[in-house]
Amino acid sequence: MFLVRLVRQLYARHMAPTEFTTQVLKCDPSSISFDPEGNAHIASNETMDALKIASHHLVNLKQAVVFPTETVYGLGALALDAEAASKIFSTKGRPPDNPLIVHVASYEMLRTLLPPDYVIPQVYQALMKHFWPGALTFLFPRNEDVVPTIITANQRTVAIRMPSHPVARALIAVANTPLAAPSANTSGKPSPTRAEHVLRDLDGKVSLILDGGACGVGLESTVVDGLHDDGNIRVLRPGGITVEDIKWALQKEMGDGDRVPKVLVHKRDYSDEAIESAPTTPGMKYRHYSPSVPLTLLSTRPNLHDARPPIKFSDFIESLKMSNPSSRPLKIGVLGPTDSKVWAHTLPSENIDWHPYALGPVSDPSVIAHRLFDGLLTLEREGVHLMLIEEIEEEREGLAIMNRVRKAVGESVWISLD
């Protein structure tokens, strides 16, 4: 009850959207480097000035600031200041029971967030060796004297990662404080991977956007929980680091002598009703990533749970034509692998205005991951009436891609492209 009252008070204080003239400042990631101790060295005066301005907005004005990470653009605020962090929730319209990930610039900063006597387990150290800085988030016990409950939705754990994007890590270093940062979008919408995505969505709602170019990964971080007594790693949210990558690192670091922990994926390898009703990490409870128009998943793989035959793609499109009440052509956005059979069915057609967006080759799901959110937001900007997206195999980045797609779609249709 205390958390609910606190969040309501803070949210009420800031729920009236603050009007800003949103400023976009360019940052050059290539001008930023780090020494072995994690200190940032910035060669560009323009980038240094932008980081100092952003730090001023964060630390002195207690405002939320948008910055690039290797995964998606983040909406950051001081993680150790409940009032500052509350502006993330009010800006995004984010439910208060959806926890935030805390971003750090160094291992020294990480330790300030953990209980004083806590020893980082061997399995975490093995994964950090390979994936930090990077797109891997760990669940840790939180230092209750340091991390406010608004960050963790009153959970006793806190999700933490060290980003590898030079601008993100340098901003945290310059501000000299951990930053809480979910994706920089209105809650429920696709995550932004370019500064222009953020500006279209949050223009006037944030004071500052640091533009560091397109995000390299294009999907949010993978979140893992290694705090259970069995010593196994539970993937709470698949993301930029694949399950295959995690298994490989654990085998490499712990394969001699010690038992190699299993890697279990939530909802694929195990279920946990408690964590689904009271999440310890973002992306587990609410519908996410949805564009402003209906999105339908085209299931093309064998469906073992449906005895009915698949629908021909041409018949499915005819049903969409019949349901169009307007005399104007139906604008349909289509997202699929570059080498998909779907493109043979999207030739010029009466009453259909196709808007194709090729995601990349089936053989390289990392490219599809990189382009997914940009595809959804590009087609939305083109004014399509609805979107169709073809499923891909849930291996490597495909697991995270389909996790996002299934949360975004309104319905799924089993079709045949032959």
Q: State how far the alpha carbon of 156 is from the alpha carbons of 149, 237, 274, 281, 374, in Å.
A: 9, 19, 14, 12, 35
Q: Give the pLDDT score at 2.
A: 46
Is the pLDDT confidence value at 300 over 50? Answer: yes
Contact of 291 with 380, CB cutoff 8 Å: yes
Q: Give the pLDDT score at 166.
A: 98
State the average pLDDT over residues 269-289. Answer: 77
Distance CA 240, CA 263 (A): 16
Q: Lowest mean pLDDT: which of 276-290, 323-337, 386-400?
A: 276-290
Distance CA 102, CA 69 (A): 13
Nearest one of 141, 153, 155 to 113, comparing CA atoms: 141
pLDDT digits 0-9 by tens, 153-186: 999 999 999 999 999 999 999 999 999 999 999 9
DSSP-derived 3-state class of residue 325 = coil
344 contacts: CB under 8 Å, gap ≥ 6: 417
Q: Give the pLDDT score at 169.
A: 98
Mean pLDDT of the chain: 92
State the average pLDDT over residues 406-414. Answer: 94
Percent of the chain with pLDDT over 90: 80
State the average pLDDT over residues 389-398. Answer: 96
Nearest one of 161, 183, 152, 182 to 280, comparing CA atoms: 152
Q: Give the pLDDT score at 15.
A: 47
Tokens representing residue 26 in the block: 């360019």
Is the pLDDT confidence value at 4 over 70? Answer: no
Q: Lowest mean pLDDT: which of 184-188, 202-206, 269-273, 391-395?
A: 269-273
State the average pLDDT over residues 39-47. Answer: 96
Tally Cβ neighbours within 10 Å of residue 217: 24
Peptide bond just before 133 cis, omega within 30 deg: yes
Q: Specify the higher pLDDT residue, 340 or 15.
A: 340
Distance CA 76, CA 71 (A): 14
Q: Give the pLDDT score at 279.
A: 76
Distance CA 79, CA 81 (A): 6
Q: Specify the higher pLDDT residue, 351 or 210.
A: 210
pLDDT digits 0-9 by tens, 77-127: 999 999 999 999 999 999 999 999 999 999 999 999 999 999 999 999 999
Position 14 confidence tier, pLDDT thresholds 50, 70, 90: very low
CA atoms within 13 Å, Cβ hemisphere of 403: 27
DSSP secondary structure letter of residue 99:
-
The pair phi, psi for residue 103, each rounded to 5°, is -110, 135
Q: Give the pLDDT score at 182.
A: 97
Q: Give the pLDDT score at 27.
A: 98
The pair phi, psi for residue 322, each rounded to 5°, is -65, -30
Percent of the chain with pLDDT over 70: 93
The pair phi, psi for residue 308, each rounded to 5°, is -75, 150
Position 304 confidence tier, pLDDT thresholds 50, 70, 90: low
CA atoms within 13 Å, Cβ hemisphere of 172: 32
DSSP-derived 3-state class of residue 102 = strand
Strands 411-416 and 311-312 turn out to be parallel
Position 332 confidence tier, pLDDT thresholds 50, 70, 90: very high
Position 61 confidence tier, pLDDT thresholds 50, 70, 90: very high
Distance CA 208, CA 25 (A): 7
Nearest one of 73, 29, 81 to 51, comparing CA atoms: 29
